[in-house]
Amino acid sequence: MTTGIALQIGQTLLALVLAPMLMGWVNVCRAWLQGRVAPPLLQPYYNLRKLFHKDAVLAHDATRLFRFAPYIIFACMVLAAGIVPTLANDLPFSPAADVIALVGLFALARVFQALAALDIGTAFGSLGARREMLIAFLAEPALLMVFFTASLISQSTELPHIVDRLAHQEFALYPSLAFAAVAFWMVSTAENARIPVDNPTTHLELTMIHEAMVLEYSARHLAMIEWAVALKLFTYSTLGIALFLPWGIAPAGDLNALPLALLALALKLAIGGAALALLETVNAKMRLFRAPEFLGTAFLLAVLGMLTHFLLEV
């Protein structure tokens, strides 16, 4: 039990520490692909430190909701990072939430973000909140279908069981999972405010979604949000790994497999981050009202995956 708790805390801290680096890695890769001089890999950490040192500037009318939202969003992401099996399987927090509850946790963070954006009453804040909630309600059904397809094989929505079934019991490739994985990729670009649904580097009023919501934040509040965004990308990546590429995650209670698990994780994240940068380089951001089509495609792919499971794998 104590090893379990130690592992749990270790894994969560690792996610906390590694998340900005994943963000930095994506930025480095993107700069290379676009022929620019890359920023240092550790740039996100420098940014965080700078932000923590600054004085927070709050609008005159900002309420407590606005001030507390960054901490709540951050806490939600930390819990999510603790639940997804990243290094070791079957940790003490895992039974606290299955994948559906995990979606609920992300939704909680999102609603607080949107409410905080509405709090000061700027035009951009409400624009961002509206668009964010729009993307969210389009993405969630597709995400559920992905989870459903992934959980059909193990007959469980518990991540440890899904991982256990795929990684530790029998080696098999499932065509249904291929469909689901593509759908998951599409949904996670939307959920993480990445191209082609949103552009994390823009401040153009016509296109921004997530950035419009955090315009009024500064200093430590902004740092919490930036860190939470990085954690969310990290958690989504590890979630994708757990669902579709779980090989390498240490089985429950097996401490000797941890170094290998760490190596596997680093490798998968490096490749995944590079792939994300590549896709962000070759794609353009699409118009907001194309998002329903994009996420509808993701939904249909996930349904196809499910039907494939019923037709080929049962």
Nearer to other proteins, 171 or 289 (CB): 289
Contacts of 76 (CB under 8 A, 6+ apart): 105, 106, 108, 109, 112, 228
As beta bridge partners, residue 88 has 250
- Binding of other proteins at residue 137 (CB under 8 A)? yes
- Binding of other proteins at residue 121 (CB under 8 A)? yes
- Binding of other proteins at residue 85 (CB under 8 A)? no
Nearer to other proteins, 155 or 256 (CB): 155
- Binding of other proteins at residue 282 (CB under 8 A)? no
As beta bridge partners, residue 250 has 88
- Piece of the chain touching other proteins by CB under 8 A; list 76-84, 168-176, 234-242, 258-266: 76-84
DSSP designation for 168: I
- Binding of other proteins at residue 114 (CB under 8 A)? yes
Q: Which of 74, 179, 234, 294 binds other proteins (CB under 8 A)?
A: 74
Q: How far is the CB of 250 from other proteins (least distance, A)?
A: 20
Q: Which of 31, 58, 262, 279 binds other proteins (CB under 8 A)?
A: 58
Residue 48: its H or E element:
helix 43-53
Q: Which of residues 215-244 bind other proteins (CB under 8 A)?
A: 215-216, 220, 224
- Binding of other proteins at residue 90 (CB under 8 A)? no
How many other C-beta atoms can be found within 10 angstroms of the C-beta atom of residue 242?
Answer: 22
Q: Which of 22, 28, 72, 187 binds other proteins (CB under 8 A)?
A: 72
Q: 104-110: long-range contacts (C-beta < 8 A, 24 or more apart)?
A: 105/76, 105/79, 105/80, 106/76, 106/80, 106/191, 106/232, 107/136, 107/140, 108/72, 108/76, 109/72, 109/73, 109/76, 109/77, 109/228, 109/232, 110/136
Q: Which of 43, 126, 202, 207 binds other proteins (CB under 8 A)?
A: 126
- Binding of other proteins at residue 141 (CB under 8 A)? yes
Q: How far is the CB of 249 from other proteins (least distance, A)?
A: 18
Q: Which of 6, 17, 42, 65 binds other proteins (CB under 8 A)?
A: 65
- Binding of other proteins at residue 56 (CB under 8 A)? yes
Are residues 243 and 165 in contact, defined by beta-carbon separation less than 8 angstroms? no
Structure tokens at 110: 């999102």
Q: How far is CA 215 from CA 113, 218, 225, 229, in A?
A: 12, 8, 11, 14
Nearer to other proteins, 259 or 296 (CB): 296
